[in-house]
Structure formats: structure tokens, C-alpha cells
Amino acid sequence: MNALIEADDRLGGHRSLAVAALQGRAHVLGLQERNASERVRRALYALAAEFTTIAAWSCIDVRDLEAAQRYLHESATFAGLSQDPPTGMRVWINLAMLAYQRQNWTEQLAAAQAANVTTAARRDPFFGSMGRMRLALAHSSLGDSRAAQRALDTAQDALGKATEEDRPRWTAFYGPAELHHLAAIILNHNGECANAEAMAHRALAAIPAEFQRNRALATCQLALAQLRQGEPEQATATATTVFTIMAGAPLPGRMRSLIGDFHRDLFRLAPSTRYARDWADRMREEWSRA
């Protein structure tokens, strides 16, 4: 399990990771056929939910959204059988992420609201902060910048109250760095690009080196914020570092979408510049790795 999570941290979701996760799930479900106590059975269902969620997340990253929807519904069933609050929280968080990728804003909001009333969110400010960030993103998607800012503020407050505890390995991605990264997304969406740039810089200063994919995603947000403030040359230099961070690995689908957004905006603002032409050449080279 840890090896799968670490692979996702470095490079993001990919099809081989989804296959490996489903193989892990099949093994765990096979163990359910043996005699075991209720406690062990619940733990096995939680593990099955974890493997299935990794497969779903990988599909979200490569933008196979139909498969992701199917796996998340299966994961929700396993999470319910496990009666494990953090596992249930993870499923709702991922359902909110999937709805965002599908541009289903009302479903995104509903999933975020469900995450916020889970036992995990009510008991632990850490999970409460995670849920409030998803709520902030959902409000931003719906164009309600005030509600988004309120949810963002409460997410920051809750994270400040969280204590060091033994939480599941999958939660390692979330902390001040990820909060700043998600805040940059919200602020970019709300048109507050200067603040988005500041948040992206804060995220990049704090994201651990092993979270390669997250560093690249935050760099995309920084480039977009710079571009939307009328700094296309600086933004292009920033965006080019995404390829360096990914170290030749194929870009996950979500990252390709962000790079595509940057490319379109760059050529709308500065189509005939040397740096735009150099960028286009580099992007074609990187796209060929897919």
C-alpha cells in the first residue's frame, strides 16, 4: 500500500498504478473468505476501500472519469462496511474532486458538504480543515467568492488547531503546503491573481521534495497567476519548470489540462514572441512522451 501511495506522490496517477491497486484489492477481498473476527473484517474492508480509491484517483489523474466514478462508488460501499471514519472521509473528498473534474458543480458541493459532516471531520480539526477546503473549492466553482473565502478561512483556522496524531498514510499530502496550493487555485479562479501568486509561492516553499506531482501542479498555478497579471515571459519561464520537476515522466491528465489552459492563454496574449515559440516547441516534445 505505501509503495502505491509513494508512487502517486512522485508522479501522479497512471494506468499501471490503477492496475496494481486493483490487484491489491482482489487480494484483500480474497482474505475476506477466511474465518476472521468482525474487527479484522472491518479492517479488510477499509483496506479494500483504500486500494479502490487509489485506483479511482489514478483514473482521475489520467482523466478516465467514467472508470473513476465506478471505482469511487465501489469504494464508498467498502468504506461503509469498514465503519472507519477516515476512510469514509477520503471517499467523499475524492467524489468532490471527481465532480470538479467533470464540471458538475452542484455534485461537487454536495460531496464537499457530505465530507464536512463525517465523523472524521467533526472529531479531528485536521479532517475538518480538509473538508472545508473542498467546500471552498466547490463554492468557487459555483462563482460564490464570498462563501469560498469564508470556507477557506475556516479551513486555515481548523488546520491551525490540528494536533500531531497518528493518521492514515494517505493524509500525508495535506498540510499548510497543500492548503496554500488549493488556495491558489481558488484565488486564480476568483480573479485574485496577485494573491494566487503569493499562495503558490508559499506552497512551493513548503511542499516536500518527494511530492513531485504536487510541486508541478502548484507550479502550474503560479504560471497561470503570473500570466493573468500580464507577465507572459516570466510565466512561460515558470511553466517550463513543470517539465523539469516531472523529470521526463509523462504528465498526468489533470496536469496536461492545466498546461493546455496556459498554452491557450499564452498564445492569445503573446502569440508571436520568441519565448512563446520556444514554449510551443518544448510542449510538443513533452506531449510526445504520453
In order, the DSSP letters of 36-68 are: --HHHHHHHHHHHHHHHHHHHHHHHHTT-HHHH
Burial, 57: exposed, middle or buried (Cβ in 10 Å; 0-12, 13-18, 19+)?
A: buried
What is the pLDDT, as a whole number, of residue 104? 95
Q: Band of the pLDDT at 202, cuts 50, 70, 90? A: very high
Q: Band of the pLDDT at 14, cuts 50, 70, 90? A: low
Is the pLDDT reported for residue 284 higher than 90? no
Q: CA 194, 200, 206, 209 torsion: positive or negative?
A: negative
Lowest mean pLDDT among 78-82, 129-133, 136-140: 78-82
| CA quadruple 68, 8, 163, 146: dihedral, nearest 10 | -50
What is the pLDDT, as a whole number, of residue 7? 45
Average pLDDT, the chain: 89
Q: Band of the pLDDT at 254, cuts 50, 70, 90? A: confident
For the segment 36-48, the average pLDDT, to the nearest whole number, is 87
Alpha-carbon gap, residue 18 to 151, rounded angstroms? 32
For the segment 98-125, the average pLDDT, to the nearest whole number, is 95
Percentage of residues of the chain with pLDDT beyond 90: 64
For the segment 198-216, the average pLDDT, to the nearest whole number, is 91
Is the pLDDT reported for residue 212 higher than 90? no
What is the pLDDT, as a whole number, of residue 178? 94
Q: Band of the pLDDT at 12, cuts 50, 70, 90? A: very low
Q: Band of the pLDDT at 153, cuts 50, 70, 90? A: very high
Is the pLDDT reported for residue 4 higher than 50? no
Alpha-carbon gap, residue 241 to 1, rounded angstroms? 30
Is the pLDDT reported for residue 174 higher than 80? yes
What is the pLDDT, as a whole number, of residue 122? 95
Instruction: Please calculate the CA angle 236-241-244 and round it to the nearest 5 degrees.
Output: 145
